[in-house]
């Protein structure tokens, strides 16, 4: 059993061994002012290391960095080392990335979610690279007996131009490891970046394309058993009795165990276990309301008018504004629950023993997983290890720890190493959905078409605050009221890529189009007018950068040739989320009398773009995801049970349904912000607003394909 | 249980499993060939695509007893060094996000190009639309198939 310290050392020693000597730097993720330090082998062996991540330069010229954040497809495992390599002037071909395991002693914020990893670590990664570079230059200066100022670095080498001398980092690594790290290092100017801003391919491409075992579901360990869990078929049911005799008698079955409301079938292979699970005879009883979609619609209507709302933001006097308005516009928008559907379903490996717990699998929150398993087993977190695998998508689902706790539960009961596998049906019907929400928007216009009042009420199913009260247009309207009502439902919900804004952005951007039309204004001009107002006379706190928002709007308008294309129906949408700004123009053309979304032009401000290739993927993928779920995503319920359980009933977007996505990044030199989520929220609005231009019909409910106007079109 | 003799990636394998076990689970659980992925189990997503005598099939709905003497190729055996034109195109175009669907995408594309070395855009889209990519990498999948086609003679 590895202790926490042993694990971190094991990680480090793996690198040390691979590099066979050289320069080792420990650097700190916790504190951006803490400096990287040179680490010597003795202190590692003594376990007295106190740093957060590792960078090593081996005598074999291999540069290794540990990327602590879980990789779920957002490209972090490529982007992080790029930042280090940039400041180091490394030869990218010599850089290796290692996925760090959970180590709270070493890594901080080892979470993938909220598009937060890059903003968090930008400075630290750069300092680590620059410090290593500084030490290598010092080592070369001493070796050649020349002033360090005469030396330059390039492509993994230190060069002395006057004498023509050069040495690779590998050759200098040993000498550099004897030096003390500087207390201050100079970071590059953005204009000198060579690697950052380039297109760098995913570091795992080869392993992915050749089918290497990278994912949690691929993990196997000698003696490991497989388990499938039967969970209640409807939200609101609890377990009454289990007859597992038939299941237990089936080939390959080792045990059937029950805990809480779950029945786990454990055996030698997934298929055998699946068949035995189907042979379970289980009775359930009602523990809470068994809600159907029809109930939700009724509850929405009731709470919209009579719910006890929590005020989220209040500016000015809305009542007076609406009383004195020349025109009032009002509309409601609604979205259903959505499963996350990562293509790799939930799964986790656990081996619970008396002397510790071994956990392996795909999780976006390894630390939470460990804390929860410690609580469940009573085993100290220090002797619980978490190995993070590559993950076949997350979309927020892997932020929860339920699937890790279950695996530990089963392993504890059967006293064996177990991998719990979820079938697609288990995954889709297993809960933690994007909450269903209904919004009511109201706007008051004066006789000049200026928006003098704005109201938004969100009613959501287990949604917490279903609004984002400080986002645009807050700050640009004198009189504003934003509140929310929550219905507590037995149907479980959780964060879903771009939580809340994944639907709110579309609803708001579509509504603002309705208001612009009522005001007789062009949608782009209308938004710019509001932002000018927010800039000149802001109403209370503004939490977004008005200039950056204006810049993406203008860029999208320019790149799409807004309003000037013949035969093309354009729809505009802009949103600020997760610290980034994205504007999108959807373009619909009529084909055989049907409106078809042909293009989406996206203008994106996420600060400095680290990896062009990866960033382009995130934006395109975000648009495709946003459109796909707006168009088709629908999860409905009957008596607490989901009506959809696999991709036959739950429709995901496919290649023949995507528009072209044309992406333009704003180049403003600002420190990078997140990109895993921000491109998704505006997509539905760009589509819906273009659709209105083409058909004069508003799409107010998701999924769009179920809207009356859409019948016969898709 | 019954013993099945399988030819996979030009190698002989024995699997002692029940007749109705889908080839997918034989590959993954019994033979340790985990490159072939499980996504839905009902022939909807294409993650489990393998070649049966060169043709793309969905191994999640193919009982092992139906394989017979057919030659099975999985992603691990598509090429010896991972240098099949489709695999190379996938790297060149930098297709993968999470990567989970990509083995199935690659196997589907390779079978298409085997049958039609120069597919039209429509043929590419209609064939590849059978495979789901939850990360939405469709633009690059389409591009990579074209790149691979341009490099195959
Ligand atoms: S797993 Fe076979 S098609 Fe989805
Ligand atoms: S790359 Fe993630 S599912 Fe396709």
Domain check: are A248 and A333 in the same one?
A: no
Domain check: are A200 and A228 in the same one?
A: no
Q: Which B residues 48-107 touch A at CB under 8 Å?
A: 74-76, 78, 82, 87, 90-92, 94, 96-103, 106
Residue A298 lies in a domain: no
Q: Which atom of ligand 1 is nearest to the CA of B45?
A: 4
What pLDDT was estimated at residue A118?
Answer: 59
Element containing residue A225 per DSSP (H, E): strand A225-230
**pLDDT by residue (tens digit) across A429-486?**
999 999 999 999 999 999 999 999 999 999 999 999 999 999 999 999 999 999 999 9
Q: How confident is the model at residue A78 (pLDDT cuts 50, 70, 90)?
A: confident
Q: Does A658 touch chain B (CB under 8 A)?
A: yes
Q: Which atom of ligand 2 is nearest to the CA of B136?
A: 4
Q: How confident is the model at residue A112 (pLDDT cuts 50, 70, 90)?
A: very low
Contact B138 A75 (CB under 8 A): no
For the CA of B45, the nearest ligand: 1
| Ligand 1 interacting residues, C-beta cut-off 6 A | B 38-41, 43-48, 58, 60
Strand-pair partners of A597: A588
Contact A707, A699 (CB under 8 A): yes
Contact B44 A648 (CB under 8 A): yes
Q: Does A624 touch chain B (CB under 8 A)?
A: yes
Give the closest-approach CA distance of B74 to chain A in angstroms.
9
Residue A1 lies in a domain: no
Domain check: are A249 and A333 in the same one?
A: no
Say if domain B85-150 classifies as CATH 1.10.150.120.
yes
Residue A294 lies in a domain: no
Sheet holding A95-99, edge to edge: A37-38, A22-27, A53-58, A63-67, A95-99
Contact B100, A393 (CB under 8 A): yes
d(CA A475, CA A532): 11
Domain check: are A332 and A350 in the same one?
A: no
Q: Does A221 touch chain B (CB under 8 A)?
A: no
Task: Pick B100's closest partner by Cβ from A212, A215, A647.
Answer: A215
What pLDDT was estimated at residue A637?
Answer: 98
Residue A296 CA to ligand 1 centre (angstroms): 33
Residue B96 CA to ligand 2 centre (angstroms): 6
Contact A35, A183 (CB under 8 A): yes
Above pLDDT 90, what percent of chain A?
Answer: 77
pLDDT at A416 over 80: yes
CA–CA distances in Å: residue A598 to residues A546, A680, B8: 30, 17, 42
Residue A181: closest CA among A336, A53, A27, A335: A27
Q: How confident is the model at residue A342 (pLDDT cuts 50, 70, 90)?
A: very high
Domain check: are A643 and A688 in the same one?
A: yes
Q: Which of A421, A448, A476 is the last residue of a domain?
A: A421
Which of A209, A228, A418, A502 should be substituted to probe chain B, the one whose Cβ sees the most B Cβ atoms within 10 Å? A209
Q: Does A390 touch chain B (CB under 8 A)?
A: yes
What pLDDT was estimated at residue A3?
Answer: 30
Task: Pick B99's closest partner by Cβ from A208, A620, A656.
Answer: A208
Specify the CATH number for the domain of residue A262. Answer: 3.30.365.10
DSSP per-residue codes, B32-94: --TTSPPS-SSSSS-TTEEEETTEEEEGGG-BGGGTTTPEEE-GGGS-SSS--HHHHHHHHTT
Residue A297 lies in a domain: no
Q: Is A574 exposed, middle or buried (0-12, 13-18, 19+ CB in 10 A)?
A: buried
Q: Which residue of A has its CA nearest to B131?
A: A654
Residue A203: closest CA among B97, B87, B84, B145: B97
Per-residue pLDDT, averaged over A502-509, amounts to 97
Q: Does A198 touch chain B (CB under 8 A)?
A: no
The pairing of strands A479-487 and A451-461 is parallel
Which residues, in sequence order, are CB contacts of A284 under 8 Å at separation 6+?
A: A232, A233, A234, A237, A238, A239, A240
The pairing of strands A569-577 and A479-487 is unpaired
Q: Which of A177, A205, A233 is the last residue of a domain?
A: A205
Domain check: are A116 and A170 in the same one?
A: yes
Exposure string of B9-46, with b = 16+ CB inside 10 Å and e = fewer, is: beeebebebbeebbbbbbbbbbbebbbbbbbbbbbbbb
**pLDDT by residue (tens digit) across A7-58?**
344 444 444 444 457 888 876 654 555 677 787 655 544 444 445 567 888 8
Q: Does A255 touch chain B (CB under 8 A)?
A: no
The CATH code of the domain at B2-77 is 3.10.20.30
Residue A272 CA to ligand 1 centre (angstroms): 18
Q: Where in chain B is the domain with CATH 1.10.150.120?
A: 85-150
Contact A458, A507 (CB under 8 A): no
Contact B35 A345 (CB under 8 A): no
**pLDDT by residue (tens digit) across B101-138?**
999 999 999 999 999 999 999 999 999 999 999 999 99
Q: Which residue of B has its CA nearest to A423?
A: B40
Residue B104 CA to ligand 1 centre (angstroms): 9
Q: Where in chain B is the domain with CATH 3.10.20.30?
A: 2-77
Chain A residues in contact with B38 by the CB 8 A cut-off are 217, 270, 345
Instruction: Please tell me the total number of residues recorded for chain A in this structure.
Output: 714
Per-residue pLDDT, averaged over A525-554, amounts to 97
d(CA A436, CA A338): 8
Q: How many CB atoms lie within 10 A of CB A45?
A: 11
Residue A2 lies in a domain: no
Q: Which atom of ligand 2 is nearest to the CA of B98?
A: 2
pLDDT at A160 over 60: yes
CA–CA distances in Å: residue A188 to residues A85, A87, A179, A513, A605: 12, 7, 22, 44, 21
Handedness of CA A554, A558, A559, A561 (dihedral sign): positive
Contact A658 B138 (CB under 8 A): yes
Q: How confident is the model at residue A420 (pLDDT cuts 50, 70, 90)?
A: very high
The answer to whether the pTM exceeds 0.90 is yes
d(CA A17, CA A148): 30
What pLDDT was estimated at residue A43?
Answer: 53
What pLDDT was estimated at residue A526?
Answer: 98
Report residue A690: phi and psi, to 5°.
-70, -40
Query: What's CA A575's distance to the chain center, in Å?
Result: 17
| Ligand 2 interacting residues, C-beta cut-off 6 A | A 73, 343, 393; B 96-102, 133-135, 137
Residue A559 lies in a domain: yes
pLDDT at A390 over 80: yes
Contact A312, A469 (CB under 8 A): yes
Q: How confident is the model at residue A183 (pLDDT cuts 50, 70, 90)?
A: confident
Contact A155, A91 (CB under 8 A): yes
Contact B17 A271 (CB under 8 A): yes
Domain check: are A459 and A557 in the same one?
A: yes
What pLDDT was estimated at residue A70?
Answer: 67
Residue A513: closest CA among A635, A333, A379: A333
Task: Pick A617's closest partner by Cβ from B25, B134, B137.
Answer: B137
Nearest protein Cα to ligand 1, atom 3: B43
Nearest protein Cα to ligand 2, atom 4: B133
Q: Which of A362, A393, A421 is the last residue of a domain?
A: A421
Domain check: are A140 and A232 in the same one?
A: no
Q: Which atom of ligand 1 is nearest to the CA of B132?
A: 4
What is the 3-state secondary structure of A413-435?
Answer: HHCCCEEEECCHHHHHHCCCEEC
The pairing of strands A660-665 and A594-605 is parallel
DSSP A529: H
Q: Does B25 touch chain A (CB under 8 A)?
A: yes
Domain check: are A244 and A328 in the same one?
A: no
Contact A338, A496 (CB under 8 A): yes
Which of B57, B60, B132 has most ligand 1 atoms within 8 Å of its beta carbon, as the pocket-test mutant? B60
Task: Pick B94's closest partner by Cβ from A220, A343, A613.
Answer: A613
Number of domains in chain A: 3
Q: Which atom of ligand 1 is nearest to the CA of B41?
A: 1
CA–CA distances in Å: residue B79 to residues A498, B84, B107, B143: 39, 5, 11, 21
Q: Which A residues 105-164 touch B at CB under 8 Å?
A: none
pLDDT at A255 over 50: yes
Per-residue pLDDT, averaged over B65-84, amounts to 97
Boundaries of domain holding A88 = 9-205
Residue A4 lies in a domain: no
What pLDDT was estimated at residue A5?
Answer: 35
What pLDDT was estimated at residue B134?
Answer: 98
d(CA A85, CA A55): 10
Domain check: are A605 and A674 in the same one?
A: yes
Domain check: are A220 and A106 in the same one?
A: no
Which of A73, A215, A497, A614 has most ligand 2 atoms within 8 Å of its beta carbon, as the pocket-test mutant? A73
Mean pLDDT of chain B: 97
Q: Does A213 touch chain B (CB under 8 A)?
A: yes
Per-residue pLDDT, averaged over A568-596, amounts to 95
What pLDDT was estimated at residue A367?
Answer: 84
First to last CA, chain B: 45
Chain A residues in contact with B126 by the CB 8 A cut-off are 656
What pLDDT was estimated at residue A37?
Answer: 75
Q: Which residue of A has its CA nearest to B50?
A: A211
What pLDDT was estimated at residue B76?
Answer: 98
Please name the residue ranges forming H helices in A519-583.
523-536, 546-559
pLDDT at A277 over 60: yes
Task: Pick A209's closest partner by Cβ from B87, B132, B135.
Answer: B87
Q: Which range among A78-82, A450-454, A501-505, A688-692 shows the weakest confidence by mean pLDDT?
A: A78-82
DSSP per-residue codes, A352-366: EETTEEEEEE--S-H
Q: Which range among A34-43, A419-428, A564-573, B31-40 shows the weakest confidence by mean pLDDT?
A: A34-43
Residue A90 lies in a domain: yes
Per-residue pLDDT, averaged over A565-589, amounts to 96
Contact A204 B34 (CB under 8 A): no
Which of A655, A663, A676 should be substituted to probe chain B, the one whose Cβ sees the most B Cβ atoms within 10 Å? A655
Task: Pick B134's closest partner by Cβ from A215, A342, A623.
Answer: A342
Per-residue pLDDT, averaged over A112-135, amounts to 75
Q: Which range among A69-78, A208-217, B87-96 shows the weakest confidence by mean pLDDT?
A: A69-78
Instruction: Please tell me the total number of residues recorded for chain B in this structure.
Output: 153
Q: Does A649 touch chain B (CB under 8 A)?
A: no
Domain check: are A366 and A222 in the same one?
A: yes
d(CA A77, CA B93): 18
Contact B29 A344 (CB under 8 A): no
Task: Pick A343's closest partner by Cβ from B91, B100, B140.
Answer: B100
Contact A343 B136 (CB under 8 A): no
What pLDDT was estimated at residue A122?
Answer: 83
CA–CA distances in Å: residue A85 to residues A55, A95, A148, A472: 10, 8, 20, 37
Task: Pick A341's closest partner by Cβ from B41, B134, B142.
Answer: B134
- Give the largest CA-CA distance in chain A: 85
Cβ–Cβ pairs < 8 A, chains A and B: 183
d(CA A277, CA A596): 44
Mean pLDDT of chain A: 90
Give the closest-approach CA distance of A407 to chain B in angstroms.
18
d(CA B8, CA B73): 6
């Amino acid at each position: 059993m590895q202790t926490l310290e042993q694990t971190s050392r094991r990680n480090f020693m793996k690198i040390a061994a691979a590099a066979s000597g050289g320069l080792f730097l420990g650097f700190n993720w916790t504190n951006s002012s803490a400096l990287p330090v040179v680490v010597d082998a003795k202190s590692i062996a003594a376990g007295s290391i106190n740093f957060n991540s590792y960078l090593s330069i081996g005598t074999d010229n291999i540069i290794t960095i540990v990327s602590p954040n879980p990789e779920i497809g957002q490209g972090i495992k490529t982007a992080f080392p790029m930042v280090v390599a940039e400041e180091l002037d490394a030869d990218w071909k010599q850089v290796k990335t290692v996925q760090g395991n959970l180590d709270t002693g070493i890594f901080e914020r080892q979470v993938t979610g909220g598009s937060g990893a890059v903003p968090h670590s930008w400075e630290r990664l750069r300092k680590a690279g620059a410090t290593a570079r500084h030490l290598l230059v010092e080592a070369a200066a001493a070796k050649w007996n020349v002033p360090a100022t005469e030396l330059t670095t390039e492509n993994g080498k230190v060069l002395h131009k006057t004498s023509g001398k050069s040495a690779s980092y590998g050759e200098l690594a040993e000498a550099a490891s004897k030096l003390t790290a500087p207390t201050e290092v100079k970071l590059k100017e953005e204009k000198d970046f060579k690697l950052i801003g380039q297109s760098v391919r995913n570091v795992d491409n080869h392993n992915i394309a050749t089918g290497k075992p990278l994912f949690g579901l691929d993990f196997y360990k000698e003696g490991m058993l497989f388990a499938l869990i039967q969970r209640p078929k409807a939200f609101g049911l609890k377990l009454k009795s289990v007859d597992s005799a038939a299941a237990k008698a089936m080939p390959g079955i080792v045990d059937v165990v029950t805990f809480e409301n779950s029945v786990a079938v454990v055996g030698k292979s997934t298929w055998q276990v699946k068949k035995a699970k189907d042979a379970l005879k289980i009775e359930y009883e009602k523990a809470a309301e068994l809600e159907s979609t029809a109930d939700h619609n009724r509850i929405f209507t009731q709470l919209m008018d009579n719910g006890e709302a929590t005020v989220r933001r209040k500016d000015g006097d809305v009542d007076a504004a609406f009383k004195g308005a020349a025109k009032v516009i009002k509309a409601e928008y609604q979205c259903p629950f959505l499963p996350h559907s990562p293509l790799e379903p939930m799964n986790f490996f656990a081996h619970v023993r008396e002397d510790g717990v071994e956990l392996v699998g795909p999780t976006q929150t390894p630390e939470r997983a460990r804390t929860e398993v410690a609580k469940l087993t009573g085993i100290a977190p220090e002797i619980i290890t978490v190995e993070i695998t590559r993950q076949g998508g997350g979309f927020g689902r892997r932020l929860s720890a339920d699937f890790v706790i279950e695996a530990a539960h089963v392993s504890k009961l059967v006293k064996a190493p177990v991998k719990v596998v979820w079938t697609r049906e288990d995954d889709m019907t297993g809960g933690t959905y994007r909450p269903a929400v209904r919004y009511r928007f109201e706007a008051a216009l004066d006789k000049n078409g200026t928006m003098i009042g704005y109201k938004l009420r969100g009613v959501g199913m287990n949604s917490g605050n279903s609004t984002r009260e400080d986002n645009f247009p807050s700050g640009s309207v004198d009189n504003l009221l934003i509140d929310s009502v929550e219905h507590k439902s037995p149907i479980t919900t959780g964060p879903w890529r771009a939580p809340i804004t994944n639907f709110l952005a579309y609803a708001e951007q579509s509504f603002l189009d309705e208001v612009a039309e009522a005001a007789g204004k062009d949608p782009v001009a209308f938004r710019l007018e509001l932002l000018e107002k927010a800039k000149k006379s802001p109403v209370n706190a503004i939490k977004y950068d008005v200039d950056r928002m204006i810049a993406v709007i203008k860029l999208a308008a320019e790149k799409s040739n807004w309003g000037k294309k013949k035969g093309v129906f354009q729809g505009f949408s802009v949103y600020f989320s997760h610290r980034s700004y994205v504007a999108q123009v959807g373009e619909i053309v009529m084909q055989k009398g049907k409106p078809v979304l042909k293009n989406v032009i996206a203008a994106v401000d996420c600060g400095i773009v680290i990896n062009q290739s990866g960033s382009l993927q995130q934006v395109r993928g975000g648009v495709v995801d946003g459109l796909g779920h707006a168009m088709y995503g629908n999860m409905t319920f009957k008596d607490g049970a989901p009506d959809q359980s696999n991709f036959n009933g739950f429709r995901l977007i496919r290649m023949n349904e995507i528009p072209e996505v044309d992406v333009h990044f704003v180049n403003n030199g600002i420190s990078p912000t997140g990109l895993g989520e921000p491109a998704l929220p505006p997509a539905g609005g760009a589509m819906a607003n273009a659709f209105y231009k083409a058909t004069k019909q508003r799409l107010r409910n998701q999924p769009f394909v179920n809207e009356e106007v859409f019948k016969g079109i898709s | 249980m019954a013993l099945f003799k399988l030819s996979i990636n030009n190698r002989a394998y024995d699997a002692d499993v029940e007749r109705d076990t889908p080839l997918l689970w034989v590959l993954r659980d019994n033979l340790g060939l985990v490159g072939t992925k499980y996504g839905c189990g009902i022939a909807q997503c294409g993650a489990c695509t393998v070649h049966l005598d060169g043709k793309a099939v969905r191994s999640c709905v193919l009982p092992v007893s139906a394989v017979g003497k057919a030659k099975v190729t999985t992603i691990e055996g598509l090429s010896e060094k991972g240098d099949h034109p489709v695999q190379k195109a996938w790297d060149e175009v930098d297709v993968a996000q999470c990567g989970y669907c990509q083995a199935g995408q690659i196997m589907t594309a390779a079978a298409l190009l085997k049958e039609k070395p120069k597919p039209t855009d429509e043929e590419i889209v209609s064939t590849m639309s059978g495979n789901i990519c939850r990360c939405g990498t469709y633009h690059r999948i389409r591009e990579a198939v074209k790149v691979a086609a341009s490099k195959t003679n």
